[in-house]
A = this chain, B = another copy of it.
């Protein structure tokens, strides 16, 4: 299939042909072969004008919090309302071990076979930055194909949550009604990222769920005050801003999903009218560009033959206290080529 035929099938294919074309396009994006990458860049650039119309929802939570059950229920609810739903996954464990915390698509047995849903598991290797980049590009393919809600899911370990928050319009953190968990989330600075917190399995212990809601709400208010104190002009527009909130639900018993989606809809309305949604996307695009540049610079440096040759001896000298770290850094930078040297001071 030529690139333009692939684009055509992604944009206008019948259900089965489109599904095959999406899978093929994403596989092309995930390839590390240089010629594939050239085609993938062309493909993306061609599709780009057709992207951006979906709502991008990030969902995170520790293993066992009930993400799959919730996404299955939410996805079917949205399909019943006429939406088309894509679910993408970033599994940070795959970048380390090739193993998978998040499992495969069989976790969502009804959603995964629905013709109005598209589920794609995490790229199975690469750095977290690389995996996140592939997922971000896969999101654009799904948007071009007409999926109007894209859910990006990850687990609450490592830096993957920041990556998901940085590619979505709204970042949702799922919690259990359990104080230890809350503190763990605060600790990792993840709570700060959250536009909304779900307390799942709230029916198991209603008292604990209420306590957790109160605790998380007060923590988020405090963060909000801190953030507002930093940007004074936000305080003046208090009513026009979204204020992070907590929703209790039970995904297993299909309770509270409508309340959740009402909150998401309010978020989208507020963020669209105050311009924050568009601003966030512009900011995200630029951040991604710089992140990929920095990753590329590091990779190039570490693969430079002159650098590789010097590195072991210099690292040993730095570790043993024979050479200052800053001097070693300057020597290694100088060993690379012209443009790096020019900026050394």
Contacts and interface: CB of A to CB of B under 8 A. Distances in A.
Interface of A: 32, 34, 37, 41, 44-45, 48-49, 51-52, 133, 136-137, 140, 180, 183-184, 186-189, 191-192, 219, 222-223, 226, 281-282, 285-286, 288-290, 292-294, 296-301, 303-304, 314-315, 318-319, 321-330, 332-333, 336-345
Contact of A333 (B48, B49, B296): B296
Contacts of A340: 296-297, 300, 339
Nearest to A345: B32
B137 A285 contact: no
A48 B322 contact: yes
Nearest to A343: B300
Nearest to A307: B339
- How many copies the complex holds: the figure is 2
Contact of A187 (B51, B189, B299, B329): B189
5 contacts: A37-B345, A296-B343, A300-B340, A301-B339, A303-B343
A188 B186 CA distance: 9
B299 A343 contact: yes
A332 B293 contact: yes
B300 A342 contact: yes
Nearest to A336: B339
A306 B329 CA distance: 24
Q: How would you classify the secondary structure of chain A's contact residues: helix, strand, loop or mixed?
A: helix
Contact of A222 (B45, B184, B286): B184
A40 to B, nearest CB: 9
A191 B51 CA distance: 42
Nearest to A295: B329
A13 to B, nearest CB: 22
B45 A292 contact: no
B294 A294 contact: yes
A285 B314 CA distance: 11
A55 to B, nearest CB: 16
Contact of A297 (B301, B327, B328): B301
Contacts of A187: 186, 189, 191-192, 219, 222-223, 226
Contacts of A343: 296, 299-300, 303
A202 to B, nearest CB: 23
A298 B343 CA distance: 9
Nearest to A52: B321
Given A297-B301, A300-B341, 4 more contacts: A48-B322, A184-B226, A186-B187, A187-B222
Contact of A292 (B34, B288, B304, B329): B329
A304 B222 CA distance: 43
A321 B133 CA distance: 16
Contact of A318 (B133, B285, B314, B318): B285
B325 A288 contact: yes
A132 to B, nearest CB: 11
A79 to B, nearest CB: 27
A140 to B, nearest CB: 7
